[in-house]
Chains A and B, each alone.
Chain A
Amino acid sequence: MSTVSPKDSTADSHYDVIIIGAGLSGLSSAVRLGMFGLKVLLLEKHYIVGGLNSFYAKGGRKFDVGLHALTNFPSPSSGKSSPLFKLCRQLRIPLDSLALQEQTSSRITFGTTDLRFTNNFDFFISEIERVFPHEQERFHRLLSKMENFPAYSVDAEELSTRNILAEELNDPLLAEMLLCPTCYYGSARENDIDFPTFVMLFDAIFKQGLARPEKGIRALLDPLTSKLKELGVERKMNTPVKAVHAEEDRITKIELENGEYLTATHYISTCGGLETETLLQPPPQTKNFEIGRFSIIESISVFEGHPKAWGWDETVVFFNDSDSFSYNEPKELVDLHSGVICIPNNYGLPSLDQKQESKLRVTHPANYSLWSALNEESYAGQKKIWEGKILENGLRYLPTIKEKVAKFKSKTRMTDTFTPRTIKKFTSHENGALYGSPTKRRDGATSFQNLFLAGTDQGYVGIVGAMLGGIAVANNQILRNL
């Protein structure tokens, strides 16, 4: 089928594969292809790898951009069937080297109803049975429906989860409480989530579980970049792609911002479906990808001491202030009705270090257009204002007594906030869309024979999803056809 054969390219400068974007999907594709001797070039517009899951330093402290949780923890009940286990094998990164620390426990809280979960799926089931005894039978029927649904297959039907939950369950509150965490961890669609994605995320969060590498996202990024080096994969940073040139149904070359042209037999783009279409020359007559609308703001507070000293021993809290959950682009800058709290220090055992600093991360839906319309001065001003509101609001969902709020603020050493504008900057996604376009291409195929999409707009989201997506495209579209 294909004409690539390793290392026998016609000209020195011709590549077997050029990959756009050194996020987790691009890095994973590059490692797979390099591993089997293909001549690969990885192009990244930033000076740093990782895309949405990168890292930075500010105020002398290290931050991960996106890491709340590494999902799919290979718990005793999921073990080797966990996608995280599989992707470590495929990339030949020993799972042990990640030094995963498990969550303590987490919670979904809606008004006065709480559902707690840990990395023990049976505990979550018992919680649901305790809080929704009248739903017990229906919930188990839903679980078998999910098990029998081919969620992981590339042609899984993109049914509406809202409709399915409405059919299967009687109590709408249970449906809303299941939608909340799954939407936040990976829905590109407003107010709903495609059923295959719902099933994958339900497995990833509840059946497998949440963990964090001891060293944060660098525990993944560092071995990936050192493997690329060992394998001789070429990487160009600070190198934005300006255009992707096509003739009929093939890509012929890539044009860089700096005026250079590059050619390859195959091309993989990880910058999004819509964004890839925007790079195409000539521009396509029809646009195949809907624009994503969901973006977020996240505020990180660095505070003195261990969270336990404040009475906080949970890892992640998905919260909503009423019985019904809305997952939309808000009409104002930020929607405070619901969000996600993460306390990364509550992975693993608490440190005994008295002088320790901890982090509290709070995420909310936010409106990209409104944030991007602000001039620099009001942008900075609004960030400050919302930082305060987000913190005060978020503390309501943690066991906090009112008097403590002021004290907590006085013990906060710094805050940092990123907005939909930041997401746009790190991913180039139109609209700062966190999970890209609602239109997905699970197998990565496009209308061009030698162009494939990997990562976010393949529909495999999150850290584990992006990596597995990159691996799947490398395997199924290129390696299998060698």
Chain B
Amino acid sequence: MNKDKIKQIVLDIIAEIAPDEVLTDVKPEIRLRDQLDLDSMDFLDIVMELRKQHGIDVPEGEYRELESLDSCANYLLPKFETGATA
């Protein structure tokens, strides 16, 4: 697993939950909310899909770690890595 793969995983999830959003130009360092029409219900879905598809748990207090693609990659990388070794 690496950070680029994680960003792609998150983008794929967004494409699934918000098929009407255009994702070709998403800037990794900018908050997702500032470039896409996503609200707290959509972020819940990102969390739920990470859980369903990859068995990764994001506690409610840490949802804000998912605010941009970069922060997603930083925050999720160790989680993906422990998942892989477990």
Contact B45 A90 (CB under 8 A): yes
- Residue A92 at the B interface, CB < 8 A? yes
Taking CB atoms, residues of chain A closer than 8 Å to B44 are 475, 479-480
Contact B52 A86 (CB under 8 A): no
- Residue B84 at the A interface, CB < 8 A? no
- Residue A308 at the B interface, CB < 8 A? no
- Residue A99 at the B interface, CB < 8 A? no
- Residue A134 at the B interface, CB < 8 A? no
- Residue B18 at the A interface, CB < 8 A? yes
Q: Which of A95, A471, A479 contacts B48 (CB 8 A)?
A: A479
What mask results when residues 27 to 59 of chain B are scored 1 for a CB within 8 Å of chain A, else 0?
Answer: 000000000010101101100100110000000
Contact B48 A89 (CB under 8 A): no
A433 to chain B, nearest CB (A): 29
CA distance A36 to B39 in the complex (A): 19
Contact B41 A482 (CB under 8 A): no
> Assuming the A-B contacts A36-B48, A36-B51, A80-B37, are A89 and B60 also in contact, with contact meaning beta carbons closer than 8 angstroms in the complex?
no
- Residue A311 at the B interface, CB < 8 A? no
CA distance A479 to B48 in the complex (A): 8
CA distance A475 to B17 in the complex (A): 15
> Assuming the A-B contacts A80-B37, A475-B44, are A482 and B51 also in contact, with contact meaning beta carbons closer than 8 angstroms in the complex?
yes
Taking CB atoms, residues of chain B closer than 8 Å to A94 are 19
Taking CB atoms, residues of chain A closer than 8 Å to B39 are 86
Taking CB atoms, residues of chain A closer than 8 Å to B37 are 80
CA distance A92 to B18 in the complex (A): 8
Taking CB atoms, residues of chain A closer than 8 Å to B41 are 86, 89-90, 471, 475
Taking CB atoms, residues of chain A closer than 8 Å to B19 are 94
- Residue A288 at the B interface, CB < 8 A? no
Taking CB atoms, residues of chain A closer than 8 Å to B42 are 89
Taking CB atoms, residues of chain B closer than 8 Å to A92 are 17
Indicate the size class of the contact surface on chain A: 10 to 19
Taking CB atoms, residues of chain A closer than 8 Å to B18 are 89
Q: Which of A37, A89, A479, A482 contacts B17 (CB 8 A)?
A: A89
- Residue A481 at the B interface, CB < 8 A? yes
CA distance A205 to B81 in the complex (A): 50
What mask results when residues 1 to 43 of chain B are scored 1 for a CB within 8 Å of chain A, else 0?
Answer: 0000000000000000111100000000000000001010110
Taking CB atoms, residues of chain A closer than 8 Å to B17 are 89, 92
CA distance A412 to B83 in the complex (A): 68
A473 to chain B, nearest CB (A): 13
CA distance A94 to B19 in the complex (A): 9
A318 to chain B, nearest CB (A): 32
Taking CB atoms, residues of chain B closer than 8 Å to A479 are 44, 48
B21 to chain A, nearest CB (A): 9
Give the nearest-CB partner of A468 in chain B.
Answer: B41
CA distance A80 to B18 in the complex (A): 11
A481 to chain B, nearest CB (A): 7
Taking CB atoms, residues of chain B closer than 8 Å to A482 are 51
What mask results when residues 75 to 110 of chain A are scored 1 for a CB within 8 Å of chain B, else 0?
Answer: 000001000001001101011000000000000000
Q: Which of A37, A95, A481 contacts B60 (CB 8 A)?
A: A481
Taking CB atoms, residues of chain A closer than 8 Å to B51 are 36, 482
B50 to chain A, nearest CB (A): 11
Taking CB atoms, residues of chain A closer than 8 Å to B45 are 90
Most-contacted residue by chain A among B17, B18, B45, B52 (CB, 10 A): B45
CA distance A80 to B41 in the complex (A): 13
> Assuming the A-B contacts A90-B45, A94-B19, are A36 and B60 also in contact, with contact meaning beta carbons closer than 8 angstroms in the complex?
no
A437 to chain B, nearest CB (A): 27
A69 to chain B, nearest CB (A): 24
CA distance A9 to B26 in the complex (A): 40
CA distance A95 to B19 in the complex (A): 11
Taking CB atoms, residues of chain B closer than 8 Å to A35 are 48
Which A residues contact B (CB, under 8 angstroms)? 35-37, 80, 86, 89-90, 92, 94-95, 471, 475, 479-482
Sample of 6 further A-B pairs with CB below 8 A, known A36-B52, A89-B18, A89-B42: A80-B20, A86-B39, A90-B45, A94-B19, A95-B20, A482-B51
Which B residues contact A (CB, under 8 angstroms)? 17-20, 37, 39, 41-42, 44-45, 48, 51-52, 60
The 3 A-B pairs at the shortest CB distance, nearest first, are namely A80-B37, A36-B48, A480-B60
A-B contact pairs, 28 of them (CB 8 A): A35-B48, A36-B48, A36-B51, A36-B52, A37-B52, A80-B20, A80-B37, A86-B39, A86-B41, A89-B17, A89-B18, A89-B20, A89-B41, A89-B42, A90-B41, A90-B45, A92-B17, A94-B19, A95-B20, A471-B41, A475-B41, A475-B44, A479-B44, A479-B48, A480-B44, A480-B60, A481-B60, A482-B51
